[in-house]
Structure 1
């Protein structure tokens, strides 16, 4: 009996089916090749667009680079090498360390939104967000390298100024607080709401050379400066040294405030010579301590993200304040002639442990000693000033 395939009626059907299968397979292969060719072409275009964008930023001159990245080319490349050497950032198959840093610096420098960055870097919003958080974490990891606590020696800016030396030779920092806009959940909003809306209260210590030596961020905006200060009182400091604070604080161990009820702010002294030792002390105190206010002004001018309403989780908002202070110190140390720093001059939080409680009598005695030190400094200033008048 002959096989069924030998049947004259079945054989044409088999041949036709085989032909159809081959044709369909060829069409599918052709479509796949066309699709691969089409997807490859835009990918190359996107890579060239990103490469040209980064090169234009880094090679268009100092003004353009500082305007876009908030730092010059040299400091930028040095920061990228630090990140590589410490293995804090890695070059991926598609995104280099330089591109990761440039995205982050442009966002914090100009408060650029994610949708704008997607267009400029031809990246997805998820990619922009992921690398932003990676760089933020890396910047905070180098905090100890660029935010150094005071060593206790007299700062050169004080030592070289006869108005301040030797009167403030034991001053190791200028302390003040500032408020940064915050985005808070409705449940926590009452604690963070201040006179200017929801904010986080940031306490910082600055050297006379405008570099931050201590930053405490994340406090509720409704907390006053002295409440925030008390949370940091246990931080160890050199014996006999002190910080200069404004009239919102009080003179106590390690902190010297100006005389209350006496002219203090520089504009109040404009065109008027001091008439007594308290006015003279307040004038010199204000001239020196005003540098912490200038440091805050430079910081906010440098990184516009600190002056705009944030849309990040609150933990990220706190880290951003720390990261911007670290970058400020880095730029001031690597490039002291930075354009933005010159403009401002001319015009891992530590866990805070509560201090041991002391009796009110002991506190009054300590405060009295520091008040006497302030009076001695004021008398010495007045004696020298009277000798010149």
Structure 2
């Protein structure tokens, strides 16, 4: 940040101390009074630099969060368990819910079965690098509706899908050009296959699909384990709470890039040994959702709330 002139030392506070303030709050959900006590700074100073550094981190999004390229990731190309089924896959999409603190008149709009949350749409590659994020939607918003809004936005803010390529998604989204969900009516959660061998092609496809798509679920788990503020209902205005989500995505990507062996990145991996067992079965025939042309009916185009 200093080298790129995004932050500079002030008369009394260095760039390092400015970063310490925001990282203490994001990583440990520390209150303003705790940070000002530790650093012997006023509450106004802590709050001012928190907002300043938060915006600087978001400004780095173009450097550390870029949309997926039009190439199949090496993690798929070099894995025969995935490549046979997903040779044109460039990533996975999913949503996650983040607790929010809101004025009483907005609570009903954001309430869902998980509480009062904002619904965050994200896309990532198999190495857990986020390539797109859209935050700020109501927790009660439909996943498909949020995706349609992301696709309708002009570039560079819209979600980009290339011809002939696609993302993996769960059954909350429809199978359509650019997106492939698992077969409906067939188990599709990885944990449901524990100790069981798929006995037909659809189940095997769903197993492979779930195994690869679990990477984004693992990435969400890493985020919430690292940045405790996500589970703390932070006492900030809602726009700041949305910015916090964007900032921790950028910080996550920075860590993935500079330290891929990070402990948190690897300890949340879902065990994929069951893939080896399934690969030894005698199932035959090629099964690909894109080639089968499976496309469930789609709901009418949504009207954006934003």
From 217, 225, 228, the counterpart of 1:304: 228
* Cα separation, 1, equivalents of 2:293 and 2:115: 42
Q: Does 1:375 align with 2:299?
A: no
1:104–1:135 Cα contact (<8 Å) kept? yes
The answer as to whether partners of 2:219 and 2:265 remain within 8 angstroms in 1 is no
Give the Cα separation in 1 of the matches to 2:32 and 2:175. Answer: 46
Q: Does 1:168 align with 2:168?
A: no
Contact map agreement 1:256 1:374 (CA 8 A) in 2: no
The answer to whether structure 1 residue 85 and structure 2 residue 40 are counterparts is no
Shift of 1:376: 7.9
Larger helix proportion, structure 1 or 2?
A: 1
| TM-align CA RMSD | 1.6
Residue 14 of structure 2 is matched in structure 1 by 96
The alpha carbon displacement at 1:167 in A equals 2.0
Q: How far apart are residue 233 of structure 1 and its match?
A: 2.1
Do structure 1's residue 187 and structure 2's residue 105 form an aligned pair? Answer: yes
Q: 1:101 to 1:372 in 2, by over 3 A?
A: closer
Shift of 1:333: 0.2
Q: Using the alignment, how far apart are the partners of 2:26 and 2:60 within structure 1?
A: 17
Aligned with residue 121 of structure 2, among 203, 206, 225? 203
Alignment counterpart, residue 29 of structure 2, candidates 95, 111, 117: 111
Structure 2 distance, partners of 1:198, 1:260, is 29
**Unaligned regions of 5+ residues in structure 2, if any?**
153-158, 272-287, 295-306
Report if aligned partners of 2:170, 2:181 keep a CA contact under 8 Å in 1: yes
Tell me the residue number matched to 2:282: none
Of 270, 280, 285, which aligns to 2:194? 270
Contact 1:182 1:314 (8 Å CA) reproduced: yes
The 3 A distance-change label for structure 1 pair 253 and 140 is: same
**Alignment partner, residue 244 of structure 2:** 320
Of 319, 329, 332, the match for 2:253: 329
Matched with 2:298 is none
Q: Where does residue 156 of structure 1 map in the other structure?
A: 74
> Per-residue deviation at 1:153?
0.6
- Aligned-pair CA distance for 1:172: 1.1
Give per-residue Cα distances to partners, 1:80-124, cap 9 Å, x unaligned.
xxx112222110110000000011111100100011111110111
Cα-to-partner distance string for 1:160-203 (whole Å, 9 max, x where unaligned): 11111132111111000010001112222221111122110000
Query: 1:55-100: per-residue Cα shift (whole Å, max 9, x none)?
Result: xxxxxxxxxxxxxxxxxxxxxxxxxxxx112222110110000000
Is 1:343 the equivalent of 2:267? Answer: yes
Instruction: Report the 3-state secondary structure (helix = DSSP H, G, I; strand = E; otherwise coil) of the residue aligned with 2:69.
Output: coil
Question: 2:162·2:178 contact (CA, 8 Å) conserved in 1?
Answer: no
Does 1:242 find its partner at 2:159?
Answer: no
Separation in structure 2 between the aligned mates of residue 306 and residue 132 of structure 1, nearest angstrom: 16
User: Which residue of the partner structure matches residue 134 of structure 1?
Assistant: 52
Q: TM-score, normalised by structure 1?
A: 0.68
Q: How many angstroms apart in 2 are the aligned matches of 1:121 and 1:140?
A: 24
Q: Secondary structure at the match of 2:83?
A: coil
Match of 1:293 among 209, 217, 227: 217
Q: How many residues align?
A: 272
CA–CA separation in structure 1 for the residues paired with 2:87 and 2:222: 26
Gaps of 5+ in 1: 1-82, 348-370, 378-389
